[in-house]
Amino acid sequence: MADIILNVEVRERTGTGSARATRREGLVPGVLYGGSKDPVAIAVRANEFRKALYTGKLLGHLVTLKHGSETQPVIAKVVDMHPVTDEPVHFDLYRVDEHQTIKIAVPVHFKNHEASPGLKKGGTLNVVRHEVELACPADAIPEELVFDLTGLEIGDTIRIGSFDLPKGVQPAMERDFVVATVAGSAAGASEAAEEGAEAEAEA
pLDDT tens-digit profile of 163-194? 999 989 999 998 999 999 999 865 444 554 55
CATH superfamily of 5-95: Ribosomal Protein L25; Chain P (2.40.240.10)
Q: In this structure, which topology does domain 101-202 adopt according to CATH?
A: RNA Polymerase Alpha Subunit; Chain A, domain 2 (2.170.120)
Separation in Å, CA 198 to CA 108, 109, 178, 192: 19, 22, 10, 10
Reported pTM:
0.69
Which pLDDT score is estimated for 185?
62
Average pLDDT over residues 103-118: 94
Mean pLDDT across the stretch 31-39?
86
Question: What ranges do the domains of the chain cover?
Answer: 5-95, 101-202
Where does the pLDDT of residue 41 fall: very low under 50, low under 70, confident under 90, or very high at 90 and above? Answer: very high
Q: Phi/psi zone of residue 68: left (φ > 0), alpha (ψ -120 to 50 degrees), beta?
A: left
Instruction: Report helix, strand or coil for 123.
Output: coil
88-97, 144-153, 184-193: which is most confident:
144-153
- Specify the pLDDT at position 1: 43
One-letter amino acid for residue 30 of the chain: G
What pLDDT sits at residue 58? 87
pLDDT, residue 160, reads 96
pLDDT at 14 exceeding the cut of 60: yes
pLDDT value of position 188: 47
| Per-residue buried b or exposed e for 59-90, using 16+ beta carbons within 10 Å of the residue's own CB | ebbbbbbeeeeeebbbbbbebeeeeeeeebbb
3-state secondary structure of 136: strand
- The residues, ordered by sequence, that sit 6+ positions from 109 with a Cβ below 8 Å of its Cβ are 144, 145, 146, 147
Q: How far apart are the first and last CA of the chain?
A: 32
**pLDDT: is 120 or 203 the higher one?**
120
Task: Assign 61 a pLDDT band (cuts: 50, 70, 90).
Answer: confident
Amino acid (1-letter code) at residue 69: S
Q: How far apart are CA 47 and CA 57, in angstroms?
A: 16
Name which of 88, 90, 92, 13 is nearest 47 in CA terms: 88
What pLDDT, on the 0 to 100 scale, is given for residue 159?
96
pLDDT greater than 80 at residue 200: no
Within a 13 Å sphere around the CA of 178, how many CA atoms are in the beta-carbon half? 21
Mean pLDDT, rounded, of the chain: 87
